[in-house]
Amino acid sequence: MSLLGGLLVWVALGTCAAVVQPPLLPDRSAIVQLFEWTFKEIEEECKNFLGPYGFAGVQTSPINEYIVINPSRPWYERYQPISYKIISRSGNEDEFKKMVETCNKVGVRIFVDVVFNHMSGDAPNARGTGGSPADPKNKYYPAVPYNKSHFHSTCSIESYQNAHEVRNCELVGLRDLDQSQFYVREKIIEYLNHLIDLGVGGFRVDAVKHMWPADVQYIYSKVKSLSTVHGFKAGTKPYIYQEVIDLGGEGIKATEYTDFGSVVDFVYSREVGKAFGGRNQLKWLRSYGTSWGILPSEKSLAFIDNHDNQRDGGEDILSYKRPREYKMANAFMLSWPHGTKRIMSSYDFTERDQGPPHNKDNSIAPVIRKPDMSCGGGWICEHRWRQIYNMVGFNNAVKGTVVKNFWDNGNNQIAYCRGNKGFIAFNGENSNMDVLLQTCLPAGTYCDVISGSRQGNGRCSGKSIIVDSSGMGKINIPRDGEDGVLAIHLNVRV
Ligand SMILES: *[C@@H]1O[C@H](CO)[C@@H](O)[C@H](O)[C@H]1NC(C)=O
């Protein structure tokens, strides 16, 4: 009996210790990846948009010094570090610091994309964004400093079945750091702790599949708690979500990393993309959860697309290029209680390697913000699409509730409630949806947050939905409407 009791306590403690709640404001829960944005633009966005609209955080692109690839300046240069100095196309350390302070003040946390699996690949006369020289051929990065002795010997990854190769050889020729060495670990920990001193809330860690679990676990264990100077509660651990691409069939599993951090859930992205892209019936989403092969909610960084799979993910991945399906997929993610949710914010691209919109001198071009909230100047700003930012509001409004009254028509029309706080319906069919459904909401008139918004004067600029005293509402989503989704919640009663 006492043995069993001890066992139970041990299991319970083990589970608690492993779960890190993201350090987000209690009433907020969606992070936006502002891909390639400058610190000045992110600061402005926190103040005037993300804070007021209830976003919980921003994921930046890598901010440390990385190799300059002339003349094209592709986006992937950011994933080839030269040093851990904070200087990039997004700005310098002073600008970063100011941005973090401003964003924290309006309740928006900063999550930095950190790259420490490797350094830059081979390039003659390599220079970093801060002007530091490097000799990648000889694995010499004096601005850290790292030399040859800090790297694995050169070999290429021939088979993703072979965990040893995946973790010890070079990912596309990028010099592969040996994180088992004390010196290398120290340099990485120093960088992460510096970011914590500057007030960040956590990290998205790049290429984690290519590092040994024990090494990254050690590094995380030496990272400080978040800064109380920047408003975090004493003892709060950074939120760490790791890029471990595991779509099945490889030698390395995402679950090798979930005991000490969250993982970016690529299966989530694929399965939701498949359903709303017309390759799986929406009715099956009734059971969307771990039985689909996605990670448990508290370990999952849920997303529809990111900068990699919007380029290379194939036909299962939805992006801004298929806006109708994409908005539906995001609405599903933001209304389904699973994972920490990340929204993508892209720039327009026609070629895979194309870098961000830029000026003649290669500095990043300004984000043009239009009166209708959308963006110009080559920036897509999915997070500023009404159908997406209003669903961030929905997500916040229904927090803590469960899915109730899941309804489907046997095919691609579905609807469900979130407790007694919200209701959403999707029409993924080539026919009209016109049904009387239980909304679980108190009687009243509600403003559909997809077709419009509740205005300051209490009016609705979109469809109004009348809910009767038994909670029933007439739900109409025409097949040729701008959007195939409708959503209402308690905060948009008119
Ligand atoms: C590499 O750097 C380490 C640590 O700074 C140093 O002890 C070692 O002598 C260097 N090795 C070479 C080959 O330069």
Residue 59 CA to residue 483 CA, distance in Å, equals 28
Q: Please indicate, yes or no, if residue 7 is contained in any of the structural domains.
A: no
In the prediction, which pLDDT does 456 show?
A: 83
- How far is residue 459 CA from its own chain's centroid? 33
Task: Give the Å distance between the CA of 148 and the centre of ligand 1.
Answer: 8
- pLDDT tens digits, residue range 397-451? 999 999 999 999 999 999 999 999 999 999 999 999 999 999 999 999 999 999 9
Ligand 1 center to residue 73 CA distance, Å? 32
| Helices assigned H by DSSP within 256-381 | 266-276, 309-312, 323-335
Residues with a known catalytic role: 206, 243
370 and 485 housed in the same domain = no
268 and 329: one domain?
yes
Residues 353 and 238 in one domain: yes
Strands 422-427 and 433-438, sheet pairing:
unpaired
Ligand 1 in reach of 147 Cβ (< 6 A)? yes
CA of 179 to the centre of ligand 1 (A): 16
Q: Output the pLDDT for position 6.
A: 40
What is the predicted pLDDT for the residue at 9?
39
In terms of residue numbers, what domain contains 427? 403-492
Is the distance from the beta carbon of residue 149 to the nearest atom of ligand 1 less than 6 Å?
Answer: yes
Cβ–ligand 1 distance for 455 under 6 Å, the answer: no
pLDDT at 205: 98
Q: Report the atom number in ligand 1 closest to the C-alpha of 140.
A: 14
Residue 313 sits in the same domain as residue 384: yes
- Residue 183 CA: nearest ligand 1 atom is 4
Instruction: Read off the CATH number of the domain in which 442 is found.
Output: 2.60.40.1180
Structure confidence at residue 427 (pLDDT): 98
Evaluate whether residue 102 is within a structural domain.
yes
The model carries a pTM of 0.95
> What pLDDT is attached to residue 367?
98
Q: What is the Cα Rg of the chain in Å? A: 23
Largest Cα–Cα distance of the chain, in whole Å?
A: 74
Does the CB atom of residue 148 touch ligand 1 within 6 A? yes
Residue 234 lies in a domain: yes
Tell the residue nearest (CA) to atom 7 of ligand 1: 149
Which residues, in sequence order, are CB contacts of 11 under 8 Å at separation 6+?
A: none
The last residue of one of the domains, among 366, 397, 428, is: 397
Q: Are residues 236 and 286 in the same domain?
A: yes
312 and 214 in one domain? yes
Residue nearest to atom 2 of ligand 1 (CA): 147
The closest alpha carbon to 300, from 286, 284, 287, 289, belongs to: 289
Instruction: Please give the tally of structural domains in the chain.
Output: 2
322 and 378 in a single domain? The answer is yes
233 and 214 in a common domain: yes
Q: What is the pLDDT of residue 207?
A: 98
Token pair for 94: 């002073």
- CATH for 39: 3.20.20.80
- Two structure tokens written together for 356: 């961000």
Check residue 155 and give its pLDDT: 97
The reply to whether 437 falls in a domain is yes
The answer to whether position 361 is within a domain reads yes
Final residue of a domain: which of 327, 362, 397? 397
Domain shared by 86 and 174, yes or no: yes
- Whether residues 384 and 239 share a domain: the answer is yes
DSSP readout, 196-264?
A: HHTT--EEEETTGGGS-HHHHHHHHHTSPPPPGGGTPPTTPPPEEEE-----SSSS--GGGSTTSSEEE
State whether the beta carbon of 138 lies less than 6 angstroms from ligand 1. no
Examine residue 187 and state whether it is found in any structural domain, yes or no: yes
By the 8 A CB rule, do 91 and 65 touch? no
Same domain, 364 and 425: no
pLDDT (0 to 100) of residue 20: 66
Is 469 found in the same domain as 359?
A: no
The residue nearest atom 1 of ligand 1, judged by CA position, is 147
Choose one of 377, 397, 417: the last residue of a domain.
Answer: 397
Residue 66 CB contacts under 8 Å (≥ 6 apart), including other chains: 77, 78, 79, 80, 81, 82, 88, 115, 120, 128, 129
pLDDT of residue 3: 41
Residue 5 domain flag: no
56-78 in b/e form (b: 16+ CB < 10 A) is bbbbbbbbbbbbbbeeebebbbb
Residues of the chain scoring pLDDT < 70: 1-20
- Please indicate, yes or no, if residue 331 is contained in any of the structural domains: yes
**3-state SS, residue 401:** coil
pLDDT at 250: 96
**pLDDT score of 24:** 85
Looking at residue 27, its pLDDT comes to: 84
Tens of pLDDT, residues 289-343: 999 999 999 999 999 999 999 999 999 999 999 999 999 999 999 999 999 999 9
